[in-house]
Amino acid sequence: MVKLSPWLSVADGTSAASFYESAFGATEVERLDDGDGNVVVAHLTVGEADFWIQTDADSDPHALGERSPVRMILTVDDPDAVFARAIEAGATEMFPVGEGHGWRIGRIVDPSGHHWEIGKPLSA
């Protein structure tokens, strides 16, 4: 088996985990806390997709001048609903959900500064 799991640097792992749970329905698989109960590293899943977050304010996109060199694509059955839930949870809209290049897709920036495209192929 081969699997690729993104690892995202965030300024506040506890807040980031809470956002991903609210916005995308993420589930925590495992978590490493500091002595005060704050997330240092967390392994999260959204459906069958998984990713990791780590509290690292020095490499968080906000510390890099709001630049996020990697963009996540979250493929879901109902991109409009997931997009709306992400906005409600605190994301910022970059591009509204629409159709183009064979996809129904929109783009948000999460509170940690990471860019997410939320969509589905139109042929699916």
CATH topology of domain 7-57+68-121: 2,3-Dihydroxybiphenyl 1,2-Dioxygenase; domain 1 (3.10.180)
DSSP at 114: -
Q: Let me know the angle formed at the C-alpha of 29 by 25 and 33, rounded to the nearest 5 degrees.
A: 105
- pLDDT tens-place string over residues 112-124: 999 999 999 998 5
User: Looking at residues 8-13, what average pLDDT do you find?
Assistant: 94
What is the model's pLDDT at position 23?
A: 97
Question: pTM higher than 0.85 for the full model?
Answer: yes
Separation CA 112–CA 17 (nearest Å): 10
30, 5, 88: which is closest to 13 by C-alpha? 30
For the chain, the domains span: 7-57+68-121
- pLDDT tens-place string over residues 41-76: 999 999 999 999 999 988 888 888 877 777 899 999
114, 16, 113: which is closest to 73 by C-alpha? 114
Residue 9 banded pLDDT, cuts 50, 70, 90: very high
Chain-centre distance for alpha carbon 9: 11
Q: The dihedral of CA 97, 80, 54, 48: what is its sign?
A: negative
Distances in whole angstroms, Cα of residue 112 to Cα of each of 34, 67, 71, 86, 123: 19, 11, 13, 13, 32
What is the model's pLDDT at position 22?
A: 97
